[in-house]
Amino acid sequence: MSQVKENSTVKVNYTGKLSDGKIFDTSEGEAPIEFVLGQGRLIPGFEKGLIDMKVNEKKTITIPKDEAYGEVNKELLHEVNKSELPQDMAPEVGMGLVSKAPDGREMNLLVVEVKEESIVVDANHPLAGKDLIFDLEVVEILETEVAE
């Protein structure tokens, strides 16, 4: 029976949880995700947890933050004057914002503090600084063509 290896193409069902059990993402009710290991599309700990699994095998893995989204980077916290915000905006802690970078890329921001004249936004990934728990199930290992 084949096992998941580096560069395998796999289909996987998953449920991602935080240490308090709160689910932050799942494929339940959807098609399993399909990807090639080793292409960097997923966090390193997720891919590492799949290595040597077989079709229909299920397991739960814990991914430390350094193999997930890393530590919270304090340099990604920015203070923005309220005068730079749209006039009709009433910022609140926990509100998500989107900002355009000079090169046109969109950045997701989270309001983490509201002050008298400014707000503090966080550009870190929402899961930065957190250990993650994933329930995994390998649905299919697709045969990969070996280049000669």
What is the H or E stretch that residue 46 is in?
helix 44-50
Q: What is the pTM of this model?
A: 0.80
Question: Do 50 and 82 sit in the same domain of this protein?
Answer: no
What's the whole-number mean pLDDT along residues 73-87? 93
- Looking at the DSSP bridge assignments, the partners of residue 146 are none
Parent domain of 89: 74-122
Same domain, 117 and 131: no
Q: Is the pLDDT assigned to residue 148 strictly greater than 50?
A: no
17 Cα distance to chain centroid: 11
Return d(Cα 52, Cα 48) in angstroms, integer: 9
Q: Whole-angstrom Cα distance, residue 120 to residue 114?
A: 6
Average of per-residue pLDDT values in the chain: 92
CATH code, domain carrying 28:
3.10.50.40
Over the stretch 6-64, which tens digit does the pLDDT of each residue have? 899 999 999 999 999 999 999 999 999 999 999 988 999 999 999 999 999 999 999 99
Residues 106 and 134 in one domain: no
Task: Provide the token pair at 130.
Answer: 């957190």
| Confidence label for 100 from pLDDT (cuts 50, 70 and 90) | confident
Do 81 and 114 fall into the same domain? Answer: yes
In a domain? residue 2: no
